[in-house]
């Protein structure tokens, strides 16, 4: 059997672990980004709710101003009642006063509606503020969890890479080159052989391949899945 080839099994196991941890680590920036997006959406929600409340309050002030104008007009017109000389002028004045009073009544209704709008807008603002507080709390708590996980992953990856170096040092350069080439395309890069069958793809191996594996002069790969073949138990090599 090829010397040092069993170290490839350990190397492959470590590479699988490294790949899994790196895959998890790659999801962390996205998770952080999601927290930030959630926060900025909540902040935009508060801004929009504040603007809506401002508009509702402006609406109320606008109708209040209309009402004040109409009230002043009514007072002014009523003051003119004693000055009119003709019946026609008096009738016209009364009509004008009546119109101004209608305007006051309309403004009162509009003010009540605006006040209801303000209540609705205030409630919406409270909800938006609560969402923003939740988003802030989530950034603090979940953000810290993500930071902790990243630290822990980096530590594990550091340990695994050191372990990998140890296993790699037990493999000769030519075998290592084949391994690196293979692992770039498929993971795991090695397959156990049991009962003259590749255990990764479950395809039977030709007797020539088994013979060459036992000779141990070079790395033998599966004709079907291209993985590096290794006997499950060293005894099968003899
Ligand atoms: Zn195979």
Residue 156 belongs to domain with CATH number: 1.10.287.620
- Residue 102 has what pLDDT? 96
If you count them, how many residues does the chain have? 238
224 and 142 together in one domain: no
Long-range contacts of 157-166 (CB under 8 A, 24+ apart): 157/18, 157/21, 157/22, 157/25, 160/14, 160/17, 160/18, 160/21, 161/18, 163/14, 164/11, 164/14, 164/15, 164/18
Between the CA of residue 159 and those of 83, 99, 162, what are the distances in Å? 102, 88, 5
User: Could you report the per-residue pLDDT of 16-68, keeping only the tens digit for each?
Assistant: 999 999 999 999 999 999 999 999 999 999 999 999 999 999 999 999 999 99
Q: How far is the CA of 227 from the centre of ligand 1 (A)?
A: 6
Q: How far is the CA of 179 from the centre of ligand 1 (A)?
A: 15
Q: How far is the CA of 230 from the centre of ligand 1 (A)?
A: 11
Overall number of domains in the chain: 2
Nearest to 132 by CA among 235, 206, 46, 64: 46
114 and 214 together in one domain: no
- Residue 170 has what pLDDT? 86
Q: How far is the CA of 196 from the centre of ligand 1 (A)?
A: 11
Is 62 within a domain? yes
Q: How far is the CA of 208 from the centre of ligand 1 (A)?
A: 15
Q: How far is the CA of 199 from the centre of ligand 1 (A)?
A: 7
User: Could you report the per-residue pLDDT of 88-130, keeping only the tens digit for each?
Assistant: 999 999 999 999 999 999 999 999 999 999 999 999 999 999 9
User: Could you report the per-residue pLDDT of 222-238, keeping only the tens digit for each?
Assistant: 999 999 999 987 666 55
Is 108 within a domain? yes
User: Could you report the per-residue pLDDT of 195-209, keeping only the tens digit for each?
Assistant: 999 999 999 999 999
Find the angle CA(168)-CA(234)-CA(190) to the nearest 5 degrees: 45
Q: How far is the CA of 219 from the centre of ligand 1 (A)?
A: 14
Is 9 within a domain? no
User: Which residues form the domain of 185?
Assistant: 173-237
- Last residue of a domain, which of 168, 188, 223? 168
Mean pLDDT, the chain, as a whole number? 94
pTM for the model: 0.76
Which residues, at least 6 apart from 66, have a Cβ–Cβ distance to it below 8 Å?
103, 107, 110
Within 13 Å of residue 129, how many CA atoms lie on the same side as its CB? 7
CA dist 223 and 230 (Å) reads 14
Is 86 within a domain? yes
131 and 58 together in one domain: yes
Omega of the bond leading into 188 within 30 degrees of 0 (cis): yes
Element (H, E) at 194: strand 190-194
Is the distance from CB of 201 to CB of 238 less than 8 angstroms?
no
Is 205 within a domain? yes
Q: How far is the CA of 54 from the centre of ligand 1 (A)?
A: 70
101 alpha carbon, distance to own chain's centre:
58
- Last residue of a domain, which of 168, 201, 225? 168
Q: How far is the CA of 74 from the centre of ligand 1 (A)?
A: 98
- Last residue of a domain, which of 152, 168, 184? 168
28 and 113 together in one domain: yes
132 and 162 together in one domain: yes
Element (H, E) at 4: none
76 and 182 together in one domain: no
Is the distance from CB of 115 to CB of 61 less than 8 angstroms?
no
149 and 184 together in one domain: no
Q: How far is the CA of 20 from the centre of ligand 1 (A)?
A: 22
Q: How far is the CA of 203 from the centre of ligand 1 (A)?
A: 6
């Amino acid at each position: 059997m090829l010397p040092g080839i069993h170290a490839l099994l350990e190397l492959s196991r470590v590479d699988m672990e490294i790949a899994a941890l790196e895959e998890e680590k790659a999801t962390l920036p996205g998770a952080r980004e999601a927290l930030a997006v959630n926060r900025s959406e909540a902040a935009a929600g508060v801004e929009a709710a504040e603007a809506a409340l401002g508009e509702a309050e402006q609406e109320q002030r606008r109708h209040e101003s209309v009402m004040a104008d109409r009230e002043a007009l009514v007072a002014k017109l009523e003051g003119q009642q004693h000055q009119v000389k003709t019946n026609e002028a008096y009738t016209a004045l009364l009509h004008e006063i009546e119109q101004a009073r209608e305007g006051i009544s309309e403004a009162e209704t509009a003010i009540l509606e605006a006040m209801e709008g303000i209540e609705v807008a205030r409630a919406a603002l409270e909800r938006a503020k609560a969402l923003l507080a939740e988003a802030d709390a989530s950034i603090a708590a979940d953000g810290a969890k993500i930071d902790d996980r990243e630290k822990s992953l980096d530590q594990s990856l550091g340990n695994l890479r050191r372990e990998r170096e140890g296993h790699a040092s037990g493999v000769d350069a030519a075998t290592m080159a084949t391994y690196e080439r293979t692992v770039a395309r498929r993971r795991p890069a090695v397959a156990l052989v049991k009962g003259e069958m590749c255990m990764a793809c479950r395809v039977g191996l030709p007797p020539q391949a088994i013979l060459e594996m036992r000779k141990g002069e070079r790395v033998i790969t599966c004709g079907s899945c291209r993985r590096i073949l290794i006997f499950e138990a060293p005894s099968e090599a003899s």
